[in-house]
Amino acid sequence: MNILINKIYFSIILFIQLIAMPIGMMGQVPLHSNNEVSLPEIVDFNLSKLQNDPQDFNASISLVESYYRIKDFQKCILYANISEDILINLEKSDNRHKNHDFFMFYIYQTRGKSRHKLGMFRKAMTEYSQALTYNRSDSDLLIDIGNLYYNQSEYDSAMFYFQLAEHFDSLSFKSKFNIANVYYVRKNYDSALYYYDASLRINSDFAYVYFYKGTIHNEMGNHELAITDFNNAINLWPDNPQIFYQRSLAYMASENYKYALNDLDKVLSMDSSNYDALRKRAQSNLILKNYKPAELDLNRLITINQSETEGYYIRGNYFLQRKDYARAIEDYNTAKDKGLDFPELYYYSGYTNMKLNNLNEACSDLSEANKGGIELDRKMQRFFSKCLQEIN
C-alpha cells in the first residue's frame, strides 16, 4: 500500500509544478488544448528552480521524469544522478526525505530504463539490481528486467521475470502481453494466443496485440481470423503501413488479390520505398494479368534496391508469361548470380532455356529443380532425358 501511495504521490509532481509557477510565468506558458503545460516549459521552469537552489529535490526529480518522457536519456541519467546526490545529502544531514526509499527505487529504475534505451545493457542491469533492493515485487520493474533480457534474446530469463511480474500483479496487461511475445518468438503459437487474449481482457485497445494475433493466424494458415485481427488493429492504428501489409498477405493467401492490391496501394502511399509491398503488388497484378502495372513495379523495385534478388525472379516469370524468353532468362540468370537459390527458380529457368534451345543450361537447371523436390511433368521429363542423351 505504501508503494501505491508513493506512486500516486509522484504522479502529481509534474502537476504541482504548474501550481507552483509564479502567476507572471503562467501567463507566458503556452497551454495545449487539454490545458496542460507543455513538457519543454516544465523543463525550463525546473531548470530555473534548480539553478536558484541546487538542492531543490522536487525540481531535479521532475527533470528526471520530464527528460525520460521526451526521450533525452542522457539528460535523464544526469538529473537522476543529481537527484540521488540530493537524497544522500539530505540523509547525511539527518533530514532524510520522508519518501527516500521510493525515490531511490524510482531513480535506479528510471536510470536503468534510460541506459537500456541507450543500449547499455550491463549498466542497465546494475541499476535494476539496485532498484530490486528497495522493492522486489514491483511488476513494472520486473517487466523492465524481462525486457532487458528479451532484447538480448535471452528468452528463458525474460520469461522468468515476466511470469514473476504476473505473479505479483495478476491484472498486469504488460506481463501477459510480454509472456505472449516470448511464446510468439518461440513459435509456441497456441500459448501465445492464450496470453494475447488474456491481455485483451484487461485492455482491448492495444493495436499491437491484434497485430501479433493476426501475424500468428497468418502463419498458422487461419487467414480469415488473421483478417479479422488486422481489421481490429487498423481500427485502432489506421496509419500503420505494416498492419495493412500483413493484411494484404492474408488476402493474397485467401486469393483475394483485389483486396490485397487495395492494402498494398495503402502501404505504398504511406511508405513509397517499401520493397516488400512493391514486390507483393507486382505479384498480385501478375496473377490478375495486370501486366503493365506489374512490370512498372518490378522495374522500380530493381532500380531502387541494389540488393534485390527476388524481384528478378518475379520479373523473369512476367517475361515468361509474355513469352519474352530472352529477357526472362536474363532475369533468371541475374537472380541466380545474386544468390537466389530455390527449386522453382531452376525449374522456370530450365523451361525457358528449353524454349531457347540452350540444352546444356536447361539440363543443368532441371537437374537442380529435380534435386530440390520438383517433379517434372511428362513433357519436361522427356526433354530432360533427351538433353542427357545429347550431352552424353
Using 50, 70 and 90 to split pLDDT, how confident is the model at 374? confident
| End position of a domain, from candidates 135, 158, 175 | 135
* pLDDT value of position 27: 34
What's the number of domains the chain is made of? Answer: 2
**Backbone φ, ψ for residue 291 (5° rounding):** -70, -40
Residue at 270 is within a domain: no
Q: How many residues make up the chain in this entry?
A: 392
Residue at 267 is within a domain: no
Report the percent of the chain where pLDDT is more than 90.
Answer: 76
Residue 31 three-state SS: strand
User: In the numeric block, which cell numbers belong to residue 224?
Assistant: 480469415
Question: Can you state the angle between helices 13-20 and 39-52, rounded to 10 degrees?
Answer: 70
Please give the average per-residue pLDDT across 285-293, as a whole number: 92
Residue at 118 is within a domain: yes
Ordered DSSP codes for 96-159: --TTHHHHHHHHHHHHHHHHHHTT-HHHHHHHHHHHHTT-S--HHHHHHHHHHHHTTT-HHHHH
Asked which of 154-163, 217-226, 290-299 is least confident by mean pLDDT, the reply is: 290-299
Residue 171 three-state SS: coil
Average pLDDT in the chain:
89
Residue at 173 is within a domain: no
| End position of a domain, from candidates 120, 135, 150 | 135
Ordered DSSP codes for 37-103: BPHHHHHHHHHHHHHH-TT-HHHHHHHHHHHHHTT-HHHHHHHHHHHHHHHHHHHHTT---TTHHHH
- Is the pLDDT assigned to residue 255 strictly greater than 60? yes
Highest mean pLDDT among 19-28, 38-47, 156-165 belongs to: 156-165
What whole-number distance in Å separates Cα of residue 267 and Cα of residue 230?
A: 14
Asked which of 15-29, 111-125, 249-263, 375-389 is least confident by mean pLDDT, the reply is: 15-29
Residue at 208 is within a domain: no
* pLDDT value of position 36: 58
- Positive or negative, the Cα torsion across 84, 68, 180, 126? negative
* pLDDT value of position 113: 97
* pLDDT value of position 377: 80
* pLDDT value of position 121: 96
Using 50, 70 and 90 to split pLDDT, how confident is the model at 205? very high
Residue at 274 is within a domain: no
Please give the average per-residue pLDDT across 137-163, as a whole number: 97
CB under 8 Å, gap of 24 or more: what pairs does 201-208 form? Answer: 202/171, 202/172, 202/173, 202/176, 203/173, 205/236, 206/173, 206/177, 206/236, 207/232, 207/233, 207/236, 207/237, 207/240, 207/243, 208/177, 208/233
Asked which of 2-11, 90-99, 238-247, 309-318 is least confident by mean pLDDT, the reply is: 2-11
* pLDDT value of position 64: 96
User: Are 103 and 83 in contact, with CB atoms under 8 Å apart?
Assistant: yes
CATH of the domain at 95: 1.25.40.10
Exposed, middle or buried, 36 (CB in 10 Å: 0-12/13-18/19+)?
Answer: middle
Please give the average per-residue pLDDT across 192-203, as a whole number: 98
- State pLDDT tens for residues 311-367: 999 999 999 989 999 999 999 999 999 999 999 999 999 999 999 999 889 989 998
User: In the numeric block, which cell numbers belong to residue 118?
Assistant: 541507450
Residue at 282 is within a domain: no
Residue 181 three-state SS: helix
Please give the average per-residue pLDDT across 170-182, as a whole number: 97
Please give the average per-residue pLDDT across 281-287, as a whole number: 94
* pLDDT value of position 6: 55
Q: What is the pTM of this model?
A: 0.79
- Is the pLDDT assigned to residue 44 strictly greater than 50? yes
Task: Show the domain range for 14.
Answer: 1-135
- Is the pLDDT assigned to residue 214 strictly greater than 60? yes
Residue at 347 is within a domain: yes
* pLDDT value of position 234: 98
| End position of a domain, from candidates 135, 164, 195 | 135
